[in-house]
Structure 1
Amino acid sequence: MKISPEQIEALKLQQQQLDNKAKKVDGAAFGEFLNQEVQQGSARKTATPPPVPGLHAMNPLLQVQQVAQVQPAQVSESEFVGKVEQIFGQLDSYAQQLGSSSEGGLKQAYNTLEGIQGGVDSLKKDWPGVASENPELGAIVGELEVMAVTEQIKFNRGDYV
């Protein structure tokens, strides 16, 4: 089987297109993806169940309570996204601190790692149902937790000394 120059050019063009797509994906793209997922999750959550016949006649304040419950959920989702982005920022800072050669850098890195773990614990505590409401965001929290625990083990084992 002979390989023609046209086939080589087509393969190079295809590889360049894949490289261009890979270059377009960066932190901003992740932020946009995260916002889209949160908005889709809120759209799924805002669908209200059908009203129970006669229930509102017994307690007209139920409608007001339901509206009050929906609005904080939207605020908490933006807080969730903000905390996730903050943890990612701490991870970047942690990586830079590990790269520094000074002993103070390791102390700062350990403090940053503890902050990351506290942030993940806070996410899990403040939004316990995120995995069931939005599996993609739940997976992100799970990956952050695994990464924090793994780094804690590596740090305590002395991999960075």
Structure 2
Amino acid sequence: MKITNEQLQALQQEEAKKKQRSAAPGFDSLLAGKLQGTEGTEEAQAALPPPGAGAVNPLLMVQQTTQQASSVPLSGVADSLDGMLDNWENYSRIIGQQGAGTDLRSAYSTLESIGNDLARIRQTVPDLDARHPGMGQMVNELEVMTTTERFKINRGDYSV
């Protein structure tokens, strides 16, 4: 009957695994070798960034290239949308005062200014949906709301 030491075997197996890991080539060199054949591995290593250094979100890269392609910055659109949302707050405040002090003419003029701002955004940045889907969706929603509220005022839903 043979007696073996389990701890000694575990230690020997761990050392063998460490040797296999150190003897195996790195992932970067294997990838470069597969991409360019066996020759040119050193050139591929120089072209690849070090591990952990290339943590860039690809969505940000797409947004940067599309911003460079178009002459209108999206920050101007965001500022316009901010102003429109302020106008919507004014409109809702005016409509919310139904009864004695409701001024439907100022509410309608506020809607007209929002509609003009939306039309201006559509003219200056016609590809807004493609460049920034979130802003494009917001502009679409604001257009629907503006049209709906105009219809409600014209129909007489908000009476004095």
The interval holding the TM-score normalised by the smaller chain is 0.5 to 0.7
Does residue 1:87 correspond to 2:84, yes or no? Answer: yes
**SS of equivalent residue, structure 1 residue 159:** coil
Q: Aligned-pair distance for 1:134?
A: 1.5
Q: Distance in 2 between matches of 1:121 and 1:110?
A: 16
- 1:90 and 1:116 in contact (8 A); partners too: yes
Change (3 A) 1:107 1:134: same
TM-score normalized with structure 1 length: 0.55
- Of structures 1 and 2, the larger Rg is shown by 2
Q: Aligned-pair distance for 1:94?
A: 0.2
Number of corresponding residues: 101
Partner of 1:44: 62
Q: Distance in 2 between matches of 1:135 and 1:105?
A: 36
Identical positions, percent: 30
Q: Which amino acid aligns with 1:46?
A: Q
Runs (4+) off by over 4 Å: 40-43
Q: Aligned-pair distance for 1:46?
A: 2.5
- Deviation string, structure 1 residues 92-138 (Cα, Å, up to 9, x no partner): 10000112234662111111011111111111111100001121211
- 2:129 and 2:137 in contact (8 A); partners too: yes
Mark the runs of 5 or more structure 2 residues left unpaired by the alignment: 1-57
- Deviation string, structure 1 residues 51-77 (Cα, Å, up to 9, x no partner): xxxxxxxxxxxxxxxxxx93984x621
Q: Distance in 2 between matches of 1:77 and 1:41?
A: 16
Q: Distance in 1 between matches of 2:81 and 2:119?
A: 12
CA RMSD of aligned residues (A): 2.6
